[in-house]
Structure 1
Amino acid sequence: MLTLHSIACSSESTQPLPLTKIDLHQQKIFLWLPQQPVPIEQALTLRLEVPENVTPELSQVEGVSMYMGTIPLMWQQLSPTEWQATLYLGACTDPKMEWRLTVPLRHELATVPQSVSYLFTSAAN
């Protein structure tokens, strides 16, 4: 019984958050992000779909509406075209925060940009 209580009180959510598919570049690059405003102080799973032979490099999330430094984001490959990263946004004094995700892309394709960005918001729980 004590073990069940410890699990129930854990801050980690066992329910996956609903994801929204976002077109980052001409139906070639897609981001799956929790519905906005995204929650703070919990692990958020992001997915990225890119063409084959395109690799997302070390990315960053930075506060737009308030300076919060930068949060590094490392992508792990799930398939030749799909990548995943975990993001953890901390709390700040602004209850509704605007963020910018910037993803540099390594490739040799003329039809794909060198980086993509996306603005999103978070809200205190």
Structure 2
Amino acid sequence: MPIKLLVVFLSALHMLMACGPQPLSIEAQTQDASCRPNQLCEYDNQVKIWLSEQQITPETPFEIHLSLPSTLLVHSAKLEGITMYMGYIPVFFEPRNDILVAQGMVGICSERNMTWKLTLEVKNPQGQLKQIFYYFDATY
């Protein structure tokens, strides 16, 4: 019996050691700019992201607004659940007046309060890509 327990313990230890840390913690990612979930976020590269509403409810459409300097282009964008993995939702921005707007909707989950992340990948004139993260909460 002690040998089986030792094997289980070593296997669990091996699995934990095989897991690597996130490349950047949520706390470090949000320090890319001084942002609060569901609020206007201004990044150091003149990028601004905000939601059409401060209160987001799952399975209810909302808009994601984006202001970019003329030197940056949207390469890709997606929504991912942070509280619970739910796959990802592609996001497509379209021009409206002087900003870009995307229609968004997130799924309902067993968690009543869920944090979501918009990952925005922008491209500069030299073709370099940079990821920008915007966090928001959805509650029902």
Tell whether the structures are fold-level matches, with TM greater than 0.5: yes
Q: 1:85 aligned to 2:102?
A: yes
TM-score, scaled to structure 2: 0.65
Q: CA RMSD in A?
A: 2.3
Alignment of 1:86-101 (within 5 A): 86-101=103-118
Q: Which has the higher strand share?
A: 1
TM-aligned CA deviation for residue 113 of structure 1:
6.9
Q: 2:138 aligns with which of 97, 102, 122?
A: 122
Higher relative contact order (CA 8 A, sep 6+): 1
1:58 partner amino acid:
S
TM-score by length of 1: 0.72
Give identity over the alignment, percent. Answer: 24
- Flag as ranges the 4+ runs of structure 1 deviating above 4 A: none
Structure 2 gaps, min length 5: 1-37
Residues 113, 26 of structure 1: alpha-carbon distance in 2 compared, 3 angstrom cutoff: farther
Q: Is the aligned partner of 1:59 residue 2:77?
A: yes
Please list the CA deviations of residues 15-38 of structure 1 after superposition, one character each: whole Å capped at 9, or x if unmatched.
xxxx84221x126010121214x2
Alignment of 1:27-38 (within 5 A): 28-33=46-51, 34-36=53-55, 38=56
**8 Å Cα contact 2:49-2:134 kept in structure 1:** no
